[in-house]
A and B are shown apart, each in its own frame.
Chain A
Amino acid sequence: MTKSEQATITINGNSYPFHNGNTILDVARDNQIEIPTLCHLKSATPTGACRICVVEVKGARTLLASCATPAVRDMVVQTESAKVVEARKQILQLMLSSGNHNCAVRGSDDLEWTAFQLKVQDDDASGQLCPVWGDCRLQDLAYRYQVSGERFPATPSRYPIENVNPFIVRDFSRCIQCGRCVQACNDVQVNNAINFGYRGPESKIIAATDRPLKDSDCVFCGECVQACPVGALVEKNIRYDVRPWQTEPVRTTCTYCGVGCQIYLHVRDNQVVKVTGVEDAPPNYASLCVKGRFGHDFIGSPQRLDKPLIKENGKHREASWDQALDLVADRFKSIRDSNGPDSIGVLTSARISNEENYIIQKFARAVLKTNSIDHCARL
């Protein structure tokens, strides 16, 4: 097929080429046309569950979910038509009216707001606005489409918060049932710990036979937390404490096993407060394990060594760098000179950088003049 014959679809009046198997959403995203999504999780099969990504397709009787509709030659699509906008508004209003979405996009009635806020306070033991305020896809869309939750009567939250594990708080009152966490768990990590449970208004994301995560197959990789577009799944240690605008992400490589996951360290006041996986980057494409995501407390631990120590009469005392380094240099020099270079052994580390390993082996070979250098690759 020559280029001029390549199949195209028309989106908002412009035509775009596509490949077999592309969805309308794929084509739109490839061409920087923003179609909002909530349940769509890249790298997992689209479910079309939330329907926020609906578009108007010429000739179709209903609006179609763009994430699950394949592009077809000569299709004509509108992504922000009046019908589409009205449908999205209604979906958002329904979501906002059910549960504790206290992000101050609720509307202008002070009394109603106060009553609502008091109810949330009762459920969540906090008078603050939603813990993910400012980092919530639902809030972003409510703002974009200028809707609030008042249109429908508020429905009570059916299930209490679960916070009996050390890592993840499950707040069912803020869950919009988009199913991203279910896909993250079953289709990305394939840990198969959580799924949809119950039906209709009772529906709930459950672990095992509706047990706390800690008593299920959950391994606390936190893929679900990273996938959650709202405040239903939040890291326990920072919930209500760390707000997204207070942190700076720094990209680096995880320090645990040899996979070399790409991570962001989220830093506030010189402290790593949260870790997330880097999307779109090999080798992990956002996935992490429990150690990588939740095992960062050691960095700022008060037990960190902060001064050189010298042992005198069987006890360590603090010393200056000059004292410690001169002592080490003198002692190694005298051992090398009186017992020969092979009387000293060096263990470098599988935990430190390439640059540091290089310098330490160079030190062993060029300064001590020994090849007795090793590390714990074998252990």
Chain B
Amino acid sequence: MHFMANPNIFSKIMEALIPWVIVIFVFSGTLGLIFALFISPPDYQQGDSVRIMYVHVPSAWMALFSYLMIALGSLSFLIWRHPVGSLIAKASAPVGAIFTILCLVTGMIWGKPMWGTYWVWDARLTSMLILLFLFIGYMLIGNAFENQNHGNKVASIFALAGSINLPIIKFSVDWWNTLHQPSIFSMKGISVSNEMLTPLFLMAICFQSYYLLILFMNIKKQIAIIKINNHIILSISKKEK
């Protein structure tokens, strides 16, 4: 993985991947929505409102995945001083926060007809809300310092401290008695029929490629900002000579 630590090489890989990511995003999104809204059957208990799962579950997965990327990027930035690690971590935060909000909102819309309430304070929902706070805290602390490099390091340390929340979210449905459904994938096997698994799988690919697309665009923006700043500094120092 270390060869990717050079921002120039990473940019080239990114440029090569972006068209493919767009193709996968559009293709899996269209196919996934067709399957989710028309082909897959309604649930025997929940009826048509089960279809909100095809947005809710992938966005929850991606929220966790985004935070995992922040933690891993921060770790590689702190240990090996990889600049790309910090870039990935910073670019994952806003998109991760959006996924978390999407997950919470779709869950609330589904919860009203199914549970009879928009919100319950059970372990899964609460830990997801904490994840949202962690995303917001991470974004704010990174920008709170005059020295950007110092801010990146501090934010990385905070991200690692917050990563303790990830296993809590993942296993909250197993450790506590919650109103939230247990995980679809567990040691006992898959608890959803194939007709519902196909759209879920397609939507997961769609969300993953959307994440990658936003991540790449965000990193490109950050690299451009760094280049512009360097250029300004360079031109000022030339003038002074």
Q: Do A and B come from one complex?
A: no
Residues of A within 8 A of B (CB): none
Residues of B within 8 A of A (CB): none
